[in-house]
Structure 1
């Protein structure tokens, strides 16, 4: 999966420069071609962040096991929430 993000990091400047240069060579003005190239680069970034979002090791193993089998501790699949009920549980703010 890390190779995907390596490709995305290479495609961002390639899309920005390549699309801008191509549109400029076709006859579009530079001030109109740059936003189009930036939009294509932004689409690559959005795809990498939201469509194929990076996963940490716990999420990757949970996503890989779709059988729904209980974990070795018998507690079932992890939901990713911290123990104690929520993000502010045990923070000491009363």
Structure 2
């Protein structure tokens, strides 16, 4: 199964070598093509690392007594500030 990060790994050499090939066909400087391709590859890598980072899923499988299985995703715990904000001051 190919995912987003697999495509990114394929795009890195494409973004580096593609402008070099295009520059040689059009007649532009190879130095400029390397700089443009390297910058494009760096942007793709930065997006893959920081915008859509590889975060492991926290999915657990729960099996009921009747044999039915369900996948549940662990939700982050609420902080103390979030828990206290729902309580009225001085009330129960």
Q: Is the structural similarity TM-score above 0.5?
A: yes
**Structure 1 segments of 4 or more deviating over 4 A?**
none
> Partner of 1:47 in structure 2?
47
Q: How high is the TM-score relative to the length of structure 1?
A: 0.57
The gaps in structure 1 that reach 5 residues or longer are 69-75, 80-94
Q: How high is the TM-score relative to the length of structure 2?
A: 0.58
Larger Rg computed on CA atoms:
2
More strand as a share of residues? 2
> Partner of 1:38 in structure 2?
38
Per-residue Cα deviation, 1:47-91 (whole angstroms, up to 9, x for no partner): 100111111223x78xx96xx7xxxxxxx7277xxxxxxxxxxxx
> Partner of 1:71 in structure 2?
none
Question: Where do 1:37-76 residues align within 5 Å?
Answer: 37-58=37-58
